[in-house]
Amino acid sequence: FSAHGVPKSVPAAAQARNMIFVDATCPLVSKVHIEAERHHENGLQMIMIGHAGHPETIGTMGQLPPGEVLLVETAEDVAHVTPRDPERLAFITQTTLSVDDTIGIVAALKARFPAIIGPHKEDICYATTNRQASVKAIAGKIDALLVIGAPNSSNSRRLVEVGSAAGCAYSQLVQRATDIDWRALQGIRSVGITAGASAPEVLVNEVIDAFRARFDTVVELVETAKEHVEFKVPRVLRTAE
């Protein structure tokens, strides 16, 4: 199963068929699942801040019985959500959302439901947060921004939005070097390159090499945070000691 996680029904179905499967759910996503289950056991209904149809949202909402997790996508949605008991609520967040977007939604939730319980620590993935901070740091200094990631990657799309909101005149999402719109980059002297949280480094290097093949290129690394977090490989894939 992917890093986004899956509903509980998926591994249950795999086990029922005696299938061998690997649960590669990101530990940060698993943390949200555990939070949701803990609140459910305490009799609270959950409100999830996320995007409808996103794999992570589907997986997280699928950890609890139907109706136990209500979804809000925007601050405006908060006014229309109808929990069974406004005094017995907790909220969780899709890990790959924009930090700026969630601030407004959380504020709306707390304003309408003062008793709502939030996570002990922000659910937004550290990799997502760091990349958004880096884009903000360079947006005013570059002529264009390329974000390497899949079209269905929530955090990659958010990086494009963050770049535009921070003042970058041109921001484009590309999966790899062959997707670059070179005509749109004509006359541009400085380009920022970043990648979604799950984009492999080989694709970043591929894009840089594509620029080197076309232009006299100078690469400058902009680092706003050190990342030292490492997660264990799923147990089934570890080499037996």
First to last CA, the chain: 25
Quote the tokens at residue 143: 């002529």
Q: State how far the Cα of 153 lies from the Cα of 147, in Å rounded to an integer.
A: 11
Task: State the residue for tokens 């799950």.
Answer: 198
Please work out, in degrees rounded to the nearest 5, the angle formed at the alpha carbon of residue 130 by the alpha carbons of 126 and 134: 170
What's the length of the chain? 241
Phi then psi for residue 177, to 5 deg, are -60, -35
3-state SS, one letter per residue, for 177-230:
HHHCCHHHHCCCCCEEEEECCCCCHHHHHHHHHHHHHHCCCCCCCCCCCCCCCC
- Tally of CB atoms within 10 A around 230: 5
- Tally of CB atoms within 10 A around 3: 20
Instruction: Tell me the three state secondary structure of residue 100.
Output: helix
Q: Is 56 a catalytic residue?
A: yes
Selected catalytic residue, list 37, 56, 76, 223: 56
Return the active site residues: 56
